Chains A and B, each alone.
Chain A
Amino acid sequence: MKKSYDIIVVGGGHAGVEAALASARLGKSTALITIEKSAIARMSCNPSIGGLAKGHLVCELDVLGGEMGKAIDATGIQFKLLNRSKGRAVWSPRAQADKIKYERYMQDVLENQANLDIIESDARALEIQENEFRGVYLYNNTLIKAKACILTNGTFLKGKIHIGNVQIPAGRYGELPSIGISDQLKELGFSVGRLKTGTPSRISKRSIDFTNLQIQEGDKDPRAFSHSTRNFDPPNIPCWLAYTCEHTHEILRSALDRSPLYTGKIDGVGPRYCPSIEDKIVRFSDKTQHQLFLEPEWDGSSQWYVNGFSSSLPIDIQIKALRSVPGLENAEFIKIGYAIEYDYFPSYQIRRSLETKRISGLYFAGQINGTSGYEEAATQGFVAAVNAARKLDGANDFILERHEAYIGVLIDDLCSKETSEPYRMFTSLAEYRLLLRWDNAHLRLLDATKKIGIQKSDMIDLFERVKRETYILNTKFSKTRVTTDNPFNIPLGSTSSISLLIRQQKITENNVMALQKHYFPDYLLDSVDQAYVQTRYEGYIDRQFKQVKKMNQLEAKGIPHNFNYSKITSLSNEGREKFLKFKPDTIGQASRIRGISPADIQVLLIFLSK
């Protein structure tokens, strides 16, 4: 441990890991401060990575030079491409993780990373002078100096676990919360909020009666998250599906008066997309059953995660209710489900670089910004570190736009929307969804990746090749004729161009491999596939590009950070209030703030002209 670093990362969760790696890989001397070294990269909740929209985030992070994709490829125990019955843009990879292997993988990577020290301690306070970050005080009051700091405290800031009427201060089950920093930030003028999330119980495998459950297997042809993963041949360990019944619901309902959710003990707002089981039976009382997914926490795991049964009800009720589920009559509990409340800092207080508006050199990433999810956290950690490093180098901010990446949508949303519940990525939040496919992250983020400078050169070469080939193939598709005697065995009246046949859906998704093999053997399958998708959805993709072009007019119009909204009398009161709160970077961002009227934008545009 040194006395001073370039960048300090506080927290060893998914945001902290990516932040520490990115910072060190950009050549900055980096310290990662974590309360418990062996808990680095722990999956606090579900044992899986990816999923709809979240899988997109992981793929984007992988292209930019993050670690998460590689880690899950190396340690996943079941892979599935979701939404395959729908169009390309909404396919998304998801994997069940071996939790233990995953955290060990990440810990090894951190351990072997040059420029990076891991300090096992509790960050008690920040050294701030003249609104500038200077260092971090450890629990024993040792000051470690640094030029920038990325706070990734997750659920540990004043974390409080609820089980029935019992409340335990904790950051995670059996782990201490972090107390000091939250109050200090409040004193510095940050506004603090309270959010809630929950996790279900874990039960023992031998107590599950699998004969009554439905099997859920992964894909036979698994796809890797990372472009750098080679010889991908992961295990395919099944999950199992169980259903609650009316009796389960009766038991839960009988104990609502003992639920901290309904007795008012929990102040924090929970996510609607991931409701607790008691919340589900209250809000959707007409449903006679709810799904529960039983997922192994690691390869050969005796501990299984009961996905869908998150609860903060008392222990006796959780046990009784789960044992009423067919197949789980004899369930033995290893860990009980709980709700956890924690402090967060409403994200209008950060810029798109993730630097706080109040304190120079201080960055927030992950749940501290009110997001939920490993993937959301990881991407923020990465972006915060890239920006912190760039600031030290005197380079401009690294910002992804909404049409470039889900990461761009995520961060822009944080900076222009008020979060009333933990923020999770959804594809419907991306207005340019058809452009942001999981499979084209390397093409759309090539320039950004080069700008950051973490990704290895062989990967950059690969991405450039795919981009170049895709471009060429788009022309070749319209010039190459397919004869009636074709390798796809498509009955044709006459010769046709490949592009026409793709548009007519005669050449489909299933023919892409044959297309590459017979017509373009010198090109990568990936390139042929990209060209196929671009041809197939050309009209829609063009429309989206036009929308982007229109919106870019507003995105390009910047607003100075010190712009004086107070003196513009012609703004509506609500408009002025919101602008003062969010201090948007651009007119585009300003226009997305809820409650801003077109007239406010017009007025702003006019005053910006001076």
Chain B
Amino acid sequence: MSIIDHYDTIAAISTPPGVGGIAVIRLSGKEAYSIALRGIILNRLDVRYAHFTKVLDAETQEIIDDVVVTYFKSPASYTGDDTIEISCHGGYAAAPAILELYYKLGARPALPGEFTRRAFMNGKMDLIQAEAVADLIHAVSESGKKLATRTLSGKLSQKVKKLRTELTDIASILELELDFSEQEITTFDKKELLIKINEARNNIFTLSESYSGGKILREGALVPIVGRPNAGKSSLLNALLEEERAIISHIPGTTRDTIEESFVHNGVVFRLVDTAGLRDTDDAIEKIGTEKAKQTLTDADLVLLVVDLENISDLTFEKDFLKTYSHLPIIVVYNKVDLFPNIPFIDTDHHLSVSALNHTGLDILTDLMVNLLKKHYGVGGDTIAITKQRHKNALNNAGNALLRTKEALASGLSNEFLALDIREAISALDEITGHTTSEDVLNNIFDHFCVGK
């Protein structure tokens, strides 16, 4: 059981993930009011009044979304603590971005059932309600269990368990020297210890970084279609959607100017964003330089750069683009191949001829998109990835605790201080798996070291 602090302000998206008109982010806790104000452009909130306002990233001064904010003052709220509800646009972009912002501003991710738990702790629930919620929590944990035994999550648990073993090994070395006197045991080389800490930290970092791949699995891959005006971006989008016949829905995208459409291919959800909104300008490159397009490209997992085969005398735009976004996987799609039957068909890792008009090459394109995602993010197959922000936070906490361990080791502090940090790292991992026992370290010591007089 992890330690839960009831003084913390917690935050979570309270609406189901995925598609929906609006999403609600809930903040609750003693500091909820002041933390909420840090993220919006208002100075105060009236109680139980729906305020129309904007969420602003204080660092970048960038507006994240237009929102409606309501303040429920303690004790008249769901949890009984001060609670703020922020209704933003639905979909995959706005709500997570706002949540992320509030994590930066001082809220921490809510644990499963934590809002309800607080409601109970504050006496907000009677027996019947509590029973209903208990069933709900139970159901959630049951499905969590099922999920865990399924392919990916089962492997994730194993992976986390393995990381945990690395940490308990380190803790055992530290504790061994504390629990048995110098006479009884041989001490451990500090350099070797440092190597072990570094290894563990790297492994934790790698898993933490798999979040983007995991996120693709959970929320789909964001694929902007870019290109000069009239290159055929919209036609390509429509052709792909028709070809796949798997239109999920039509939802507003990140910005009011772009349109997002989704389809599924080989189990991966692709969220195509037509940057057609950028077409009404002579200088597309400058337009792409604008904040909104930049944001879409920052979040992009894969880019389709459409080139009009009728218009290839000057490829400055394409060259500049490829240079600027060289870190992203990009497929250069040569459209209108139907007009040039004599040109050899291009089909390489990153270049492909298609015809949006008569659907030539589209099946190759979708396969290529899946392959590139696999290559870049390890999506698909038997890869292990984390899919939840909560997991990422826990891993980052573990990583930070290991960094502190290193610093403590370097500054010459003795084992019990290093052990404190390692224990924090272990309990951070335990938040992912829900596994905790304090005897693990001692058991490990007894199994591996000859101790005792």
Contacts and interface: CB of A to CB of B under 8 A. Distances in A.
Interface of A: 46, 51-53, 82-83, 85-87, 89-90, 94, 216, 241, 271-275, 280, 283-284, 287, 290-291, 293, 307-308, 417, 426-429, 431, 433-434, 537, 540, 543-544, 547, 549-551, 553-554, 568, 570, 591-592, 594, 596-599, 601-603, 605-607, 609-610
11 contacts: A52-B179, A52-B181, A85-B182, A90-B415, A90-B416, A283-B450, A287-B450, A543-B420, A592-B1, A594-B439, A606-B117
Contact of A597 (B141, B178, B181): B141
Given A86-B416, A434-B420, A609-B130, A550 B5 contact: yes
A428 B178 contact: yes
B318 interface: no
Contact of B179 (A53, A85, A290, A606): A53
Contacts of A291: 183-184, 453
A54 to B, nearest CB: 11
The 5 nearest A-B residue pairs measured at CB: A591-B1, A86-B414, A272-B446, A284-B450, A599-B141
A570 B416 contact: no
A274 B453 contact: yes
B6 interface: yes
A410 to B, nearest CB: 13
B413 to A, nearest CB: 7
Interface of B: 1-6, 111, 113, 116-117, 120-121, 123, 125, 127, 130-131, 133-135, 137-138, 141, 175, 177-184, 413-417, 419-420, 423, 434, 437-439, 441-442, 446, 450-453
B137 A83 contact: no
B413 A87 contact: yes
A273 B452 contact: yes
A323 B56 CA distance: 81
A582 B2 CA distance: 20
A605 B113 CA distance: 12
Contacts of A293: 183, 453
A287 B448 CA distance: 12
Contacts of A307: 453
Contacts of B123: 609
Contacts of B111: 598
Contacts of A596: 1
Contacts of A431: 423, 438
A567 B175 CA distance: 42
Contacts of A609: 120, 123, 125, 127, 130
Contacts of B179: 52-53, 426-428
Nearest to A89: B416
Contacts of B137: 570, 599, 602-603, 606
A599 B451 CA distance: 37
A427 B134 CA distance: 37
Contacts of B177: 86
A599 B179 CA distance: 33
A553 B4 contact: yes
Given A272-B446, A570-B135, A83 B420 contact: no
A544 B420 contact: yes
A87 B3 contact: no
A52 B453 contact: no
Contacts of B184: 291
A602 B184 CA distance: 43
Nearest to B175: A428
B181 A82 contact: yes
Given A427-B416, A597-B434, A274 B138 contact: no
Contacts of B175: 426-428
A551 B446 contact: no
B341 to A, nearest CB: 64
Nearest to B417: A540
B262 to A, nearest CB: 33
Contacts of A87: 413-417
Given A51-B181, A553-B6, A428 B420 contact: no
B127 to A, nearest CB: 5
B439 A427 contact: no
Interface centre among B6, B123, B453 (most CB of A within 10 A): B453
A316 B123 CA distance: 71
Contacts of B439: 417, 429, 594
Contacts of A85: 182, 414
Contacts of B1: 554, 591-592, 596-598, 601
Given A427-B179, A594-B437, A609-B125, A603 B134 contact: yes
Nearest to A544: B420
A605 B413 contact: no
Given A290-B450, A428-B442, A605 B423 contact: no
A609 B130 CA distance: 8
A570 B417 contact: no
A603 B450 contact: no
A86 B178 contact: yes
A602 B416 contact: no
Contacts of B135: 570
Contacts of A83: 178, 181-182
B2 A598 contact: yes
Given A271-B452, A428-B175, A597-B1, 8 more contacts: A52-B180, A283-B450, A293-B183, A428-B178, A598-B111, A606-B125, A606-B130, A606-B131
B452 A90 contact: no
Given A273-B451, A293-B453, A553-B4, A216 B113 contact: no
A440 B71 CA distance: 47
A428 B419 contact: yes
A610 B128 CA distance: 10
Contacts of A592: 1, 438
B416 A607 contact: no
B113 A602 contact: yes
A290 B184 CA distance: 9
Nearest to A548: B3
Nearest to B184: A291
B30 to A, nearest CB: 13
Contact of B117 (A86, A428, A543, A605): A605
A311 to B, nearest CB: 13
A605 B178 contact: no
A601 B2 CA distance: 11
Contacts of B437: 594
Nearest to A86: B414
Nearest to A594: B437
Nearest to B135: A570
Contacts of B434: 597-599
Contact of B138 (A46, A428, A601, A603): A603
Nearest to A293: B453
Contacts of B452: 271-275, 308
Contacts of A275: 450, 452
Contacts of A274: 452-453
Given A82-B181, A434-B416, A570-B135, A428 B120 contact: no
A376 to B, nearest CB: 15
Contact of A602 (B117, B127, B181, B450): B117
Nearest to B2: A598
A280 B4 CA distance: 42
A241 B181 CA distance: 14
Contacts of B415: 86-87, 90
Contact of A428 (B130, B131, B441): B441
B6 A540 contact: no
Contacts of B417: 87, 434, 537, 540
A46 B453 CA distance: 10
A273 B446 contact: yes
Contacts of B133: 606
B4 A550 contact: yes
